[in-house]
Amino acid sequence: MTPREEIYAGVAVGLGIVLLLSLLVLAYASHVKKVDVELHSYQKDFLDTLGKDKSLGAFILRGDASSALSWIVRRAMRNPSVRSEIFDTFHCVHCGSVKPPEWISTRKGDKRKHKLKLDPPLQKFLSGELLLPVEKRGTPPARQVVEGPKRADLSKAARCCVDWAIKNEGRFAEKPKPE
């Protein structure tokens, strides 16, 4: 094979690889469905900001709220200690007892549905029985974990993941800057 033929062969192989990867990405994208996820405004702003965070590099592929939530949920799926931190305890970043920053305290309680792209395995995970039963008890009434089976709620599980990320990504005091 002549040097010129070797170059052409290398280019052909490279183009073949690019084409194959493109087809794989398209096939993958066709399986990702939008799902309604109910979030507080502060949570949506946080996801929008996290999705644009360049320090996360290749982990955030689309640069949006969907990819940011996917990144958080994948961490919970792959790491049992993260999953436990999110779902085996009750935590709240917007309750008065934790004295949330204004960007959270003034934007809680306004949950709205957002169409987010989540892979089927992530949807299945978030739809599983992950959530501890919580009720208001005591005087004055305060939310606390009570006895009973875990329950399933995709949106609530997603909100737990986002609140965990706000607390554990060192961004609790930072106001997100959505564009």
How many whole angstroms separate alpha carbon 101 and alpha carbon 89?
A: 22
Do 132 and 85 lie in one domain? The reply is yes
Same domain, 27 and 38: no
Q: What is the pTM of this model?
A: 0.74
Are residue 55 and residue 84 in the same domain, yes or no? yes
Residue 68 lies in a domain: yes
Please indicate, yes or no, whether residues 131 and 53 belong to a single structural domain of this protein: yes
Checking if the pLDDT of 179 tops 50, the result is no
H-type alpha helices, 32-153: 41-51, 65-78, 80-87, 102-105, 120-126
Q: How many domains does the chain have?
A: 2
**Confidence class of residue 11 from pLDDT cuts 50, 70 and 90?**
confident
Same domain for 62 and 80, yes or no, is yes
User: Which burial class, exposed, middle or buried, applies to 65 when counting CB atoms under 10 A from its CB (0-12, 13-18, 19+)?
Assistant: buried
Q: For the CA atoms of the chain, what is the radius of gyration? A: 21
Q: Could you read off the pLDDT of 68-89 as tens digits, one per residue? A: 999 999 999 999 999 999 999 8
**By residue range, what is the domain housing residue 162?**
32-168
pLDDT, one tens digit per residue, over 30-77 is 556 899 999 999 999 999 888 887 666 555 556 789 989 999 999 999
Q: Are residues 5 and 64 in the same domain?
A: no
In a domain, 137, yes or no: yes
Q: For the ranges 31-35, 71-75, 118-122, 171-175, which has the lowest average pLDDT?
A: 171-175
Q: Please determine, for residue 118, whether its predicted confidence score (pLDDT) is greater than 60.
A: yes
Q: What is the pLDDT of residues 148-161, one digit of tens each?
A: 999 999 999 999 99
Instruction: Kindly state the tokens that stand for 163.
Output: 């609140």
Of the pLDDT bands very low, low, confident and very high (cuts 50, 70, 90), residue 22 is low
Q: Are 41 and 18 in a shared domain?
A: no
Residues 107 and 138 in one domain: yes
Q: Is the pLDDT of residue 165 over 70?
A: yes
4: confidence class by pLDDT, cuts 50, 70, 90? confident
Determine what percent of the chain is predicted with pLDDT higher than 70: 77
Does 108 lie in the same domain as 136? yes
Q: What is the DSSP letter of 133?
A: P
Give the pLDDT confidence score for residue 153 in this predicted structure. Answer: 96
